[in-house]
Structure 1
Amino acid sequence: MPYVNIRITREGATEAQKAELIKGVTDLLVRVLNKNPSTTVVTIDELPMENWGIGGLPVEEFRRRNPPGK
């Protein structure tokens, strides 16, 4: 029984987006590892921004210093 835990920052992911993540991860495990989708568990944890860091910086500061496409 595969168990996948996705952690994202709490920035307003919609229910539809979360459902797409759950389906996509499940489908990937079926395709790549031949896992049974009925016993595949996917959870999504949404963490407050202040509880997330990258490269020794809070994520908001990291993003200010490293804008997308830079």
Structure 2
Amino acid sequence: MPIVNILVTREGTTPGADRTTADQKAAVYKGIADLLFNVMGKPREDTTVIFHEHEIDDISQGGVPLSAYRRHRARVGMTDA
């Protein structure tokens, strides 16, 4: 039985959104079940997906809270490309 953990920050992807929508989560769940079926032959009904949303400062990168890391990257002109 595949168990997949998805960890994201609690930030929306569109203006005014402050978290992942139910429709976005449903698309992620389906996409992961389809991927595991298509690549590994794992039955969709056996795939469990756990979606974790975290406040941005519950995550650290580069030894600082993620919000500070992103501000620093923006100041020095780095992108997430």
Q: What is the aligned-residue RMSD (CA, Å)? A: 1.5
Q: List per-residue Cα deviations over 1:22-62 (Å, max 9, x = no partner).
A: 11111110111110001100010111112111121211011
Unaligned runs of 5+ in 1: none
The higher radius of gyration belongs to 2
The reply to whether residue 43 of structure 1 matches residue 77 of structure 2 is no
Please report the TM-score for the alignment, with normalisation by the length of structure 2.
Answer: 0.77
Q: Once superposed, which parts of structure 1, at least 4 consecutive aligned residues long, lie more than 2 Å away? A: 67-70
How many positions carry a matched residue from both structures?
70
Mapped to 2, the partners of 1:52 and 1:2 lie a distance apart of: 25
Please report the TM-score for the alignment, with normalisation by the length of structure 1.
Answer: 0.88
* Amino acid aligned to 1:38: E
Percent identity, please.
Answer: 39
